[in-house]
Chain A
Amino acid sequence: MEIFGVPSALFGSQLLIGLINGSFYAILSLGLAIIFGLLNIINFAHGAQYMMGAFVAWIALAKFGVNYWVALLLAPILVGALGVVLERTMLSKLYKLDHLYGLLLTFGLALIFEGVFRDQFGISGQSYEVPELLQGGVNLGFMFMPIYRGWVVVAALAVCFGTWFMIEKTKLGAYLRAGTENPQIVQALGINVPLLITFTYGYGVALAAFAGVLAAPIYQVSPQMGSNLIIVVFAVVVIGGMGSIMGSIVTGLGLGLVEGLTRVFYPEASAVVVFFIMVIVLLVRPAGLFGRAV
């Protein structure tokens, strides 16, 4: 069976890879969007925090024999807690200043994290075995799908939609959205806005770490795994426009698929196709696909 002259198995597997990459883009740009919404800071350390999530899972298994499922919970909590400390001790000092200082501070933090992990673990990647429960694959008729990859897509989507639900449909989410619009009034209504901000940053960071654990069995766990990914995610954010939570999820998945398709038809361009789309979107809709004009 062929699709556009390409064997369907190849077509399907590239689309699946695209969907998986897209899931990571979606979780990471969602985390960035949440942090940006309330803190007005682009969290440049997001890629490093994703990397740390993967390393927590790897260390937990290699050194302490802690399995994947525990790590999936443990890594977001640990890395998220570190995020809370960073927000309390450093980021909170910058809110009155130009937003750019937040970007620069988190950039510095990213360098520190990356350097420390490179010193401890070297630049060569570590591999993390797929958990027993999710080993093997299923034949979908037109292609063979490893179960773990299917699980990544499902888990990522579940977390994304859970987050969307929390923000759009719950009381906590309502506070969060109100805090984004007008922190002063929300504060005057008796809601602890600084606490809300701290929680938000911690949650955004935890999302990145969660993505890191999901990624560990697929990609090599290495200190640089986040640093190149994060720039693609920035492009995703520019394309999506960061205006809406749903926007970042849809854009992330969509761009992953586009990247996968490009790999089928013109592999050389797959690394830059997202940036090309960014240029086109900027020319046509500078505020992004889902963005509100600023």
Chain B
Amino acid sequence: MSRNLSMFARATPLLFGALFVLGLVAPFAVYPTFLMKILCFGLFACAFNLLLGFAGLLSFGHAAFLGTAGYVCGMLVRDAGVTPEVGILGGTLAAGILGWVFGVLAIRRSGIYFAMITLALAQMVFFFALQWRATGGEDGLQGVPRGHLFGVIDLSNNLAMYYLVFAVFCIGFFIIYRAIHSPFGQILKAIRENEPRAVSLGYDVTKFKLLAFVLSAALAGLAGATKTLVFQLASLTDVHWHMSGEVVLMTLLGGLGTILGPLAGAAVIVSLQSELADKVGSWVTVIMGAIFVLCVLLFRRGIVGELQALIRRSGVN
């Protein structure tokens, strides 16, 4: 077993290195906008996984952070005329603050109640986005300019935009990776496995949960703000509870609690949606639902989780 683990440890930097290079050259082989969509949703799912996969908290309202950051970034860039990086940071900050508010309220209850509370709070954000004039109601914020990064680099060029999104993803992913592989991450896992025990060990469980929640919300916001710049649009779909469900699906499909799983899940779901959208109509929802049911019933470890289990088994033999 220990030999297997060290094999993993040696393989991990190689894998990450390969993926990084792949990310650098990918836009020359695949349509950049499609890749940017995957990276934005991948970061969103990774942020969500930090909460569910490592702290065991099922938030069913993460669309609120994605969407709010998108709206804030859009308003800052389009209406206040700031540069894109300020817009992204503003959106991220707004999502973090909203995450703190949600967290304080939701962490009072656990398990299923926690999920329902986050869902209900997110629905409140949805109604605000629907009714407040500044968010554009049904139409959303349209025509958000991509602008010039640091006032210099023109982001209307798809390739420049891609590398910004790739950089944002790498930064976000690195933060999540560091958070998981730190004493903080270990405490989160302890809370997930046995909360009373973590309490009895003297950890302020509420504080750690809240910290994880805020971090996850802010990173989800980072993804949402970036996404708004890419598509030059912030819309109601991003705050609708279907989006909260979609991110759960991406994470579950890719592999709950694995580091790369959510990215894989996001890639599969985004590809499926763009492949199927105009061919099967309403059946997209049915297919998503069916994947959900299959994941829960048959392979709860997800794509990456099953792969890891496979490697582990073959390593033992």
Contacts and interface: CB of A to CB of B under 8 A. Distances in A.
B75 interface: no
Q: Considering the complex of A and B, which 7 residue pairs feature the smallest CB-CB distances, nearest first?
A: A108-B292, A111-B289, A115-B285, A115-B286, A112-B289, A119-B282, A286-B108
B119 A231 contact: yes
B142 interface: no
B307 interface: no
A163 B110 CA distance: 28
A114 B285 contact: yes
A260 B271 CA distance: 44
A285 to B, nearest CB: 10
Given A90-B297, A119-B283, A119-B286, A104 B292 contact: yes
A42 B112 contact: yes
A282 interface: yes
Interface string B102-125: 000100111111011101110110
Interface of A: 36, 42, 90, 93-94, 97, 99-101, 103-105, 107-116, 118-119, 231-232, 234-235, 237-238, 268, 271-272, 275-276, 278-279, 282-283, 286-287, 294
B57 to A, nearest CB: 10
Contact of A115 (B105, B124, B248, B282): B282
Contacts of B289: 108-115
B120 A234 contact: yes
Question: What does DSSP make chain A's interface, helix, strand, loop or mixed?
Answer: helix
Interface string B279-313: 00111111111111101110010000000000000
Contacts of A238: 109, 113, 116-117, 120
17 contacts: A42-B115, A97-B300, A100-B115, A104-B252, A108-B289, A112-B289, A114-B285, A115-B284, A118-B285, A231-B119, A234-B116, A235-B116, A235-B123, A238-B113, A272-B124, A278-B120, A294-B110
B45 to A, nearest CB: 15
B58 interface: yes
Interface of B: 58, 105, 108-113, 115-117, 119-121, 123-124, 127-128, 131, 241, 245, 248-249, 252, 281-293, 295-297, 300
B292 A107 contact: yes
Given A104-B252, A118-B285, A275 B297 contact: no
Nearest to B120: A235
Given A275-B123, A282-B109, A112 B117 contact: no
A278 B121 CA distance: 9
A282 B293 contact: no
Contacts of A279: 105, 121
A206 B126 CA distance: 30
A271 B245 contact: no
A162 B293 CA distance: 34
Contacts of A110: 289
Contacts of B283: 115, 119
B109 A108 contact: no
B109 A286 contact: yes
Contact of A275 (B113, B121, B131, B241): B121
A286 B121 CA distance: 15
Nearest to B245: A107
A118 B282 contact: yes
A287 B108 CA distance: 9
Nearest to A223: B282
Contacts of B112: 36, 42, 99-100, 103
Contacts of B295: 104, 108
B286 A101 contact: no
Contacts of A103: 58, 112, 115
Given A93-B297, A272-B124, A282-B105, A100 B58 contact: yes
A104 B288 CA distance: 12
A282 B108 contact: yes
B209 to A, nearest CB: 14
Nearest to A104: B296
Contacts of B121: 275, 279
B193 to A, nearest CB: 12
A82 to B, nearest CB: 14
B105 A109 contact: no
Nearest to A111: B289
Contacts of A294: 109-110, 113
Given A42-B112, A119-B282, A278-B117, A111 B300 contact: no
B105 A112 contact: no
Contacts of A101: 296, 300
B230 to A, nearest CB: 26
Contacts of A114: 285, 289
Nearest to B123: A231
B115 A105 contact: no
A232 B284 CA distance: 26
A112 B109 contact: no
A63 B285 CA distance: 26
Given A42-B115, A115-B282, A268 B131 contact: yes
A294 B109 CA distance: 8
A220 to B, nearest CB: 18
A293 to B, nearest CB: 10
B38 to A, nearest CB: 21
A263 to B, nearest CB: 14
Contacts of A105: 292-293, 296-297
A283 B121 CA distance: 13
Contacts of B249: 108
